[in-house]
């Protein structure tokens, strides 16, 4: 399994999508330094805590989106691509179980993405340190919570890759991600219309793909000391929406974290079940 994980990492490093991700990450890091050099900008007139909070929220938000997309792109052809190229037909006759092949690929991709998240979080920390001359260790703590995103989407996309083409597997994962990111829109529709169907749909989506709970854990890792006014207002609106519906607002709970892990493990189990029965 470790050998397959190593080969998966080596193959991913050779792919253009990963190199593009590194380049784009560096470009965003350089752009994050612009407020420091543009002394006349509105950003520089803000109080330091507000400025740091806004920067952290923006960059961590971009990191959540960015790592999710990279995870989907790298995992899309993990199984189906190997079958189409005939690679698995060569490996399978050897004394290596399909479960080991699947877990090796899953482990390899997630180790690589974990290292990438730590690297990008270090760049965010460095950008803010350069601009404020203060260290904000909560950024690295938030990075650990952000790793839930690539792990989730790697698991989902590999699962889809066991029965679909690479393009379809990526498409299905992106559809689920887009559905989850549309949750704030459903919340606004509920506030405007008071139609409970929007609130019910929002809660169903929360179980279908637990991105809301992951986002809450990222916010908890960032902490209230580095929380932008926009985030506080957004949380108040969410709480108001749930109060109108007679429900308790969502919080970063241990049970929610357990559900995320059960969701990921369940996705891998389904992927293994399908892969065991697929012809290669």
Give the pLDDT band of residue 45 (cuts 50, 70, 90): low
pLDDT surpassing 80 at residue 152: yes
Longest dimension (CA), the chain: 66
Give the pLDDT band of residue 154 (cuts 50, 70, 90): very high
Minimal CA–CA distance to 131: which of 60, 49, 61? 49
Supply the pLDDT for residue 133. Answer: 80
Q: What is the pLDDT of residues 98-133, one digit of tens each?
A: 788 888 899 999 998 998 888 888 888 888 888 778
Residue 6: Cβ within 10 Å count:
14
- Cα separation of 249 and 36, whole Å? 37
Supply the pLDDT for residue 7. Answer: 75
Supply the pLDDT for residue 40. Answer: 46
Contacts of 125 (CB under 8 A, 6+ apart): 135, 136, 137, 139, 140
- Cα separation of 167 and 82, whole Å? 14
Does 18 or 261 have the greater pLDDT score? 261
Residues in the chain: 280
* Extended beta strands in 70-119, E state: none
What is the distance of C-alpha 136 from the center of its chain? 22
Range of the domain at 184: 2-276
Query: Helix, strand, coil: what percent of the chain each, to 5?
Result: 80, 0, 20
pLDDT surpassing 90 at residue 264: yes
pLDDT surpassing 80 at residue 255: yes
Does 87 or 68 have the greater pLDDT score? 68
Mean pLDDT of 69-85: 83
Rg of the chain's alpha carbons, rounded to an integer? Answer: 21
Give the pLDDT band of residue 224 (cuts 50, 70, 90): low
> With a threshold of 0.75, does the pTM exceed it?
yes
Contacts of 156 (CB under 8 A, 6+ apart): 172, 173, 176, 209, 267
pLDDT surpassing 90 at residue 262: yes
Supply the pLDDT for residue 132. Answer: 77
Supply the pLDDT for residue 153. Answer: 94
pLDDT surpassing 70 at residue 227: no
Give the pLDDT band of residue 215 (cuts 50, 70, 90): confident
- Cα separation of 121 and 144, whole Å? 9
Q: 76: which 2 tokens?
A: 């899309």
Count of the separate structural domains present in the chain: 1
Mean pLDDT of 30-51: 61
């Amino acid at each position: 399994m470790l050998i397959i994980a190593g080969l998966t990492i080596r193959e991913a490093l050779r792919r253009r999508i990963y190199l593009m991700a590194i380049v784009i990450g560096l470009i965003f890091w350089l752009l994050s330094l612009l407020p420091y050099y543009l002394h006349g900008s509105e950003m520089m007139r803000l109080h330091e805590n507000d400025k740091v909070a806004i920067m952290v929220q923006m960059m961590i938000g971009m990191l959540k989106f960015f790592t999710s997309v990279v995870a989907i792109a790298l995992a899309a052809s993990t199984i189906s691509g190997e079958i189409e190229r005939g690679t698995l037909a060569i490996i399978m006759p050897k004394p290596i179980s399909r479960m080991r092949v699947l877990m090796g690929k899953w482990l390899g991709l997630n180790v690589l993405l974990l290292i990438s998240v730590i690297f990008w979080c270090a760049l965010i920390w460095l950008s803010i340190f350069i601009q404020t001359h203060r260290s904000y260790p909560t950024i690295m703590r938030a990075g650990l919570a952000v790793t839930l995103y690539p792990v989730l989407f790697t698991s989902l996309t590999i699962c889809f890759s066991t029965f679909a083409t690479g393009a379809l597997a990526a498409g299905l994962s992106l559809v689920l991600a887009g559905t989850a990111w549309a949750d704030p829109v459903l919340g606004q529709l509920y506030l405007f219309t008071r139609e409970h169907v929007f609130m019910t749909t929002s809660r169903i989506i929360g179980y279908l793909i637990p991105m809301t709970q992951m986002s809450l854990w990222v916010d908890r890792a960032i902490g209230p000391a580095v929380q932008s006014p926009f985030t506080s207002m957004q949380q108040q609106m969410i709480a108001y929406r749930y109060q109108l519906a007679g429900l308790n607002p969502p919080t970063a709970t241990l049970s929610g974290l357990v559900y995320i892990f059960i969701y990921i493990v369940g996705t891998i189990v389904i992927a293994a079940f399908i892969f065991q029965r697929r012809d290669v």
